[in-house]
Amino acid sequence: MKIRFPNYKENFIVPSVLSADFTRLAREIKGVEKYSGWIQVDIMDGHFVPNLSFGPHITRNLRTLTRLPLDAHLMVQKPMAFIEPFRKAGADLITVHLESENFPEALKEIKRRKLKAGLALRPKTPLAKAGKYLKEIDLLLVMTVEPGFGGQEFIGGMLDKIKAAKKIRENEGLSFHIQADGGVNEKTAFDCLEAGANSLVMGSALFSRKNPAFIKALSGKIKKF
């Protein structure tokens, strides 16, 4: 089926299914998809980050549940080994880390397979290291916590990285999404938007909430921002 990927000039919530209740995954996705730009699947290999998460089967299952684009965020040491399995599983965007092995080749391989390509930066990685790749990508993911661990506090200093990325995008006439991921909630979401992010990854702030009015209200404010 044909999947439309959102324009970078629009603002979106991007639910991270890592925080969803997998005993009721279909209901969880239906509860947030009308407020969402796409769905993120966090892939951890136990090497690049200490924790383990999902394989391609979760992406394949999600593909049957939603028509939203799916982003496989590869927190893995060797991303080249993961691109084709996640393409087959139904990913529309694959995001690799600049700190991973052979990431330039991985970006090229993602584009060769006609997918959207994302590049992620850990908090300690300077934006300057991504400079020459910004013309090649569809999304720049600025990690606002250290990847691989839940429940961390938002790192406020990453707002300057987001601002700098937006300035480069404007000055060079580029069109990549700028995404903030980690500790994004009702307290930090608008700081990210003001800095220049248009894509806000949210996990527990969405799925742990019992009151769906929170999601609706936040989404409405983000889209009007």
Return the active site residues.
42, 181
Distance CA 147, CA 108 (A): 23
Six-digit token string for 101: 């092995």
- B/e letters for 100-139, b = 16+ CB within 10 Å, e = fewer, are beebeebbebbeeeebbbbbbbbeebebeebeebbeebbb
- B/e letters for 173-195, b = 16+ CB within 10 Å, e = fewer, are eeebbbbbbbbbbeebbebbbeb
Q: How many other CB atoms sit within 10 Å of the CB of residue 160?
A: 11
Task: Give residue 164's region: left, alpha or beta (phi > 0; psi -120 to 50).
Answer: alpha
Distance CA 105, CA 80 (A): 8
Distance CA 98, CA 96 (A): 7
Q: Under DSSP, is residue 132 helix (H, G, I), strand (E, B) or coil? A: helix
Helices (H) and strands (E) in the chain — how many of each? 8, 8
Q: Under DSSP, is residue 181 helix (H, G, I), strand (E, B) or coil? A: strand
